[in-house]
Structure 1
Amino acid sequence: MNTKTNLMLFMVATLSILFVLTVSIISQSKTPAPGSVVFDGDAAINNNIQNNIDSENAIVENSIDNQVNNGETNEIDNNVLNNISVSVDVTVKNDISNQVDKDGKGSNGNGTSGGNGSNNGNANEDSNGNGDSETPDIVWGVDSASLTDDELLACVRDNFGNPEVWGRYLGDKDGVSFGLTQEEVELLQSNDIQILVIWNQFNEPVGFDKGQSEASAAIELARDFGIPEGVALFANVEPIYPIDDQFILGWHETMMESEYNSGIYGIFSPSEELYTAYVAAAEQDSSIYDEMYIWTASPNEGITTEANAPAYNPEFPEGGLIGGWQYGIDAETCNIDTNWFDGNVLDVLW
């Protein structure tokens, strides 16, 4: 009798221990790693991290890990903002991971604003909340009327900075500018520099027919030169030129009927004829606001290095599609002008 009792007690104790171990293992398997969030079922997740740092040196590491299982509808919104004013050295690392088993939508945003007044950030989105492309807010670049060779490229890099965009003219214009060559294209693109294509083969941009004819000539030469479809061709309107709304309408209409995109360069100050003509044209054809890229030369802040470039502050008509800002003209060291180019124009450069 005692033997049977002892055996039963032993079995009960063993089963109790096994039960406790099983519960413990299950609990551990469902415990998320530090810094992670795990959801079973539908989930709406909003993570916001903001770091405000003002010091000589800084190392910032932000990590977000979202794991969503079994939900039919999941929404994930991750935002990381680092406001950093550091005079010596800064290291920023943002790690965002979304693991979603079912249908989900989400966005990851991360930005870093520096103490020089500019803001460099990116926001990427796809169907599962993981971004796979990055478009910078602005990039620094130059334009030049001179032929671009190794010497000029080295001059710019040694004295000003590393341009990501280089504006060049399509076709020669006597006494004004040399036209882009195939050798330049190879040199610039092999150095990961995109080309902004400029058309300046006119002096009197007045009238609808003139706008059409100049656009047609630019399109023909672009095709002959091998410029791919989707690239924007910028009409170069100098401040000494007369300009009217009809020229802009003719240029834009003809350009948008082709395989190329429409662009225009000039001083877009409210006191300039170009500004008035653009607004008048856009009032007649609202697609100009949405489709014509503006490369403005206003305000003129003067030539600088990339490191000392002014905060991005282009002047252009409200509602217009800004493509870039030529903030400084006629450098003495190299024959260039200095620019900030908007991230939205990068898709229509060569």
Structure 2
Amino acid sequence: MNRAQLYDLIGIGILIIIPLVLVFFLNNSDQSSSPNGDQNGQEIYWGVDSASSSDKGLYQCTADNYGTPDVWGRYLGDKEDVSVGLDKEEVAFLHDKDMQILLIYNHFTDATGYDHGVEEAKKAIEYANNVNAPKGVAIFGDIEPSFPVDSAFMEGWYDTLADSKYKPGLYGVFNKGSAILEAYNAMEKEAQKNTVVWTAHPQQEPTSKSNAPDYKPQGPENAMLYGWQYGIEADKCAIDTNLFQDDMLDYLW
């Protein structure tokens, strides 16, 4: 092999290797610069929820100790000794901080009966209207583990919200064998498929935004499972910590 042939071979080798090296580095760059994502390639957002108003004190405590949330979950209407209701001033404050608001309704302790589900949904709609929540926002009915629950209540909740300008959502601890999961799975298929679910299972410790776990919620299979409250009762601020798929943003304010 003469020198010219050798140079030709080296040149061909370089032409083959350079594109492969570029592809390798571009892929690594995309992975390192991309936001936190789940196994489906969805962007994941970190957020909090609180029973107290997200005034400057609580917001600053959260930002200083845990990070700036992308989403803040707040309750509709005051519930004595439990939660302070969202008002228009707080809405303006959160939006000024570029945060999405998740609406929670918790004015019941018994989640049974179709008519009861209808009644509670109507109250939730009224509360949402009072703070001028826009069309398309989901309202999450808060079903705690101690509450009696059945599919009839969920269907009443679903039907009423689906017929309104708002969207039906449910929050609960959807662990395997739980009453809430069994009730959900007993609903009509359309209601299961079109309800936005925010699950509180499995439970881990609250974390900062930078130390949040991978997005691995557990809940109904036939649901829009878009949110996970993975940590409750943070030590330094009165918040719980959450992760949300980007699909959830379509149902926030």
User: TM-score band, normalised by the shorter chain?
Assistant: 0.7 to 0.9
Quote the residue 2:88 is aligned against: 182
Quote the residue 2:128 is aligned against: 222
Quote the residue 1:290 is aligned against: 193
Q: After the TM superposition, which residues 58-69 of structure 1 pair with which residues of structure 2 at under 5 Å, given as runs?
A: 60=25, 62=26
Matched residue type, 2:106: N
Kindly tell me the number of residue pairs found equivalent between the two proteins.
234
Structure 1: segments with no counterpart, 5+ residues: 1-47, 53-59, 63-81, 85-91, 93-110, 124-135
Quote the residue 1:72 is aligned against: none
Equivalent of residue 192 in structure 1, options 93, 98, 107: 98
Asked whether the 8 Å contact 1:113–1:120 carries over to 2, the reply is no
Quote the residue 1:305 is aligned against: 208
- How far the C-alpha of 1:119 sits from its partner, in A, is 2.7
- CA gap 1:325/1:113 in 2 versus in 1, 3 angstroms: farther
- CA gap 1:286/1:113 in 2 versus in 1, 3 angstroms: farther
Distance of 1:242 and 1:311 partners within structure 2: 31
Q: TM-score, normalised by structure 1?
A: 0.63
- How far the C-alpha of 1:246 sits from its partner, in A, is 0.4
Equivalent of residue 44 in structure 2, options 124, 135, 138: 138
Distance of 1:236 and 1:204 partners within structure 2: 10
Distance of 2:164 and 2:175 partners within structure 1: 29
Q: Which has the larger radius of gyration?
A: 1
Distance of 2:49 and 2:242 partners within structure 1: 8
Asked whether the 8 Å contact 1:146–1:178 carries over to 2, the reply is yes
Quote the residue 1:213 is aligned against: 119
Q: After the TM superposition, which residues 255-334 of structure 1 pair with which residues of structure 2 at under 5 Å, given as runs?
A: 255-281=161-187, 285-334=188-237
Q: Secondary structure at the match of 2:186?
A: helix
Q: TM-score, normalised by structure 2?
A: 0.86
Bigger helix fraction: 2
> RMSD in angstroms over aligned alpha carbons?
2.4
Asked whether the 8 Å contact 2:38–2:215 carries over to 1, the reply is no
- How far the C-alpha of 1:222 sits from its partner, in A, is 1.2
Distance of 1:254 and 1:331 partners within structure 2: 34
Quote the residue 1:346 is aligned against: 249
Q: After the TM superposition, which residues 111-126 of structure 1 pair with which residues of structure 2 at under 5 Å, given as runs?
A: 112=31, 118-119=36-37
Structure 2: segments with no counterpart, 5+ residues: 1-19
Q: Secondary structure at the match of 2:116?
A: helix
- How far the C-alpha of 1:199 sits from its partner, in A, is 0.3
Quote the residue 1:248 is aligned against: 154
Q: Secondary structure at the match of 2:146?
A: coil
Asked whether the 8 Å contact 1:113–1:121 carries over to 2, the reply is no
Quote the residue 1:156 is aligned against: 62
Asked whether the 8 Å contact 1:142–1:338 carries over to 2, the reply is yes
Asked whether the 8 Å contact 1:144–1:335 carries over to 2, the reply is yes
- How far the C-alpha of 1:115 sits from its partner, in A, is 11
Q: Secondary structure at the match of 1:112?
A: helix
Q: Secondary structure at the match of 1:339?
A: strand
Matched residue type, 1:197: L
Runs of 4+ in 1 over 2 A off after TM superposition: 48-52, 111-116, 118-123
Matched residue type, 2:64: D
Distance of 1:280 and 1:122 partners within structure 2: 27
